[in-house]
Amino acid sequence: MNRIILLRHGEAEHAGQGLTGGWTDSHLTPLGQKQAYVTGVRLQEVLEGAEFSFHSSNLARASQTAHIIGGLLGVEPILDGDLREFNNGDAANLTVEEALKIQNPPTQPLVDYVPYPGAENWRQMNERVSGCMARMREACAETAVIVTHTLSATAVVHWWLKLGRDDWGRISYDLDPASITLLTKNQFGQHTITRLNDTRHLATEGCESDVEAMPGVKA
């Protein structure tokens, strides 16, 4: 695997409804569906003639995005639960305000912080996603196209850059709905972030989001 095209799912319903993200299994908004289509059109250009594998989180907002894109690319996505967003345990399907009432006080190191009852910590999520990427590296084509979420996408970037597990405490990324992040190897064999949170394809069609969906954890 020499290239990863990393996509965040399109705009999802839970953001506008004031619900937490994480394992809240919401679907795409009409705008999110348009974003997925526009992203698929862009990928048709990027992937023309390339051999690639196509993977997605199995949460509804990601798999719906992947199926819209896959319809344009002529491929079925491989759905994988290990590409899911951060497991927010008992906070799933709650409003952000309700989740705050059950949130555990932040602890250090941040990578071991369990924010809600029944949730995983960042170390566990990173290990889950990293294990998925290691399997993918052994089995997939030259290019992997991956549809996932903000924090699980961050874990993919960390895996690609071979960052340590404790780097979760100091490094993160802002990834907008239906954004494209391109991870490649340069001429020296170095693992590179060629493009991060690219939404130019959405701006061209006037379909960028003005809401932000995160799992709901507050510092």
What are the chain's domains? 3-204 (3.40.50.1240)
List the beta strands (DSSP E) in 58-114: 78-80
Q: For all residues of the chain together, what is the average pLDDT?
A: 93
pTM equals 0.95
- Encoding tokens for residue 89? 């345990």
Amino acid (one-letter) located at 32: G
The predicted pLDDT at position 216 comes to 61
pLDDT for the residue 203: 97
Assigned token pair, 199: 């939404």
Q: What is the pLDDT of residue 110?
A: 87
Query: What pLDDT score was predicted for residue 212?
Result: 61
**pLDDT exceeds 60 at position 214:** no
Residue-wise pLDDT tens digits, 104-156: 999 998 899 999 999 999 999 999 999 999 999 988 779 999 999 999 999 99
Average pLDDT over residues 172-182: 95
Beta carbons within 8 Å of 192's beta carbon, 6+ residues apart:
183, 184, 185, 186
Measuring CA to CA, how many Å separate 67 from each of 57, 64, 77?
11, 5, 7
